[in-house]
Amino acid sequence: MNQPKENAGLSMKDYNHNNLCTWCDGCGNYGILTAIKRALIELELAPHQVLICFDVGCHGNMSDTLVGYRFHGLHGRVISLAAGAALANPDVPVIAFGGDGACFSEGVGHLVHAVRSNYNMTFILHNNANYGLTTGQASALTPHGEKMNTAPHGTVEELLNSMDFVFSLNPSFVARGTSGNIKQLTDIIKAGINHQGFSYIDVLQACPTYNKFATHEYLLGKCYEVETSDFETARKAAVDTSEKIATGVLYQDKTRSTFLDQLEARKGIDTRLVDEVRKVDVSALLAKFS
Ligand code: SF4
């Protein structure tokens, strides 16, 4: 990435907003917010040089506390709106944040097609294994049998294994981090932004208010770092969390072309889609139906 030299002087305050942050004490969102700011600083991306999109959920409060071009969309739809922006102007890095509630239920179809299409964008999953904003209901990523507010006797649905699911879609980039390891998460986010294609980053996020089974201490004690490896080894390491949880950039294929790069219709065209948008007068056409 070629950025202007003056960006080398960026600091946290360039991304800080004075709006009140409403997260609970000890929420893992604070760690993720710090990691994204550090990643942008270290990549020398100023707030006006990046688009950051948010789904609905506790994490969405970040859109009020992080300076930059931001879009706070509808529940479950963050991947689709971010993908549209990435296709319209591939010169601007696009980052989308979403929770496990939205992105593995209502929005799971968007995730499926973004991974297999390999849109050039970074998706950061706030995986706290519940719907925190609406007071702790079980999500598709809540383990079977956990007692949640909508399931006081334990969830009856089977857990959706997010890593197995994503690997089944032939992804080009898969990483996992935790909200408690900010240094590692910063490096993961930087790698995701630099990747050409769809970067899936699963962040195991502590939610001390509603998630009593995967606390900060539990996650930090169970996670270990692994190096990038081949697809099958990475998938195995990612899926098997019975003893330890593998974190880091688990898999990356740098040879895959992005969706836009594969389109024959765009070959040889220097302009961006966003440059080609024109106002078209359709009043004569509409008059035929009046
Ligand atoms: Fe964070 Fe959980 Fe509180 Fe939401 S409910 S702000 S995810 S601790």
What is the tens place of the pLDDT at every residue in 115-130?
A: 999 999 999 999 999 9
Is the CB of 32 within 6 Å of ligand 1? no
Is the CB of 29 within 6 Å of ligand 1? yes
Mean pLDDT of 218-224: 96
Residue closest by Cα to atom 3 of ligand 1: 24
**% residues pLDDT > 90 (the chain):** 92
**% residues pLDDT > 70 (the chain):** 98
Q: Residue 181: pLDDT band by 50, 70, 90 thresholds? A: very high
Kindly list the structural domains of the chain, giving each domain's residue range(s) and its CATH number in brackets, ordered by start: 19-287 (3.40.50.970)
1 pLDDT exceeds 80? no
pLDDT at position 278: 83
Centroid of ligand 1 to alpha carbon of 210 (angstroms): 7
Is the CB of 137 within 6 Å of ligand 1? no
pLDDT at position 6: 61
pLDDT at position 277: 86
- Report pLDDT digits (tens) over 9-47: 999 999 999 898 899 999 999 999 999 999 999 999 999
pLDDT at position 2: 46
Residue closest by Cα to atom 1 of ligand 1: 27
Q: Which ligand 1 atom lies nearest to the CA of residue 205?
A: 7
66-70, 245-249, 256-260: range with lowest mean pLDDT: 66-70
Can you give the three-state secondary structure of the chain, one letter per residue? CCCCHHHHHCCHHHCECCCCCCCCCCCCHHHHHHHHHHHHHHCCCCHHHCEEEECCCHHHHHHHHECCEEEECCCCCHHHHHHHHHHHCCCCCEEEEEEHHHHHHHCHHHHHHHHHHCCCEEEEEEECCEECCCCCEECCCCCCCCCECCECCCCCCCCCCHHHHHHCCCCCEEEEEECCCHHHHHHHHHHHHHCCCEEEEEEECCCCCCCCCCCHHHHHHHEEECCCCCHHHHHHHHHCCCCCEEEEEEEECCCCCCHHHHCHHHCCCCCCHHHCCCCCCCHHHHHCCC
pLDDT at position 229: 78
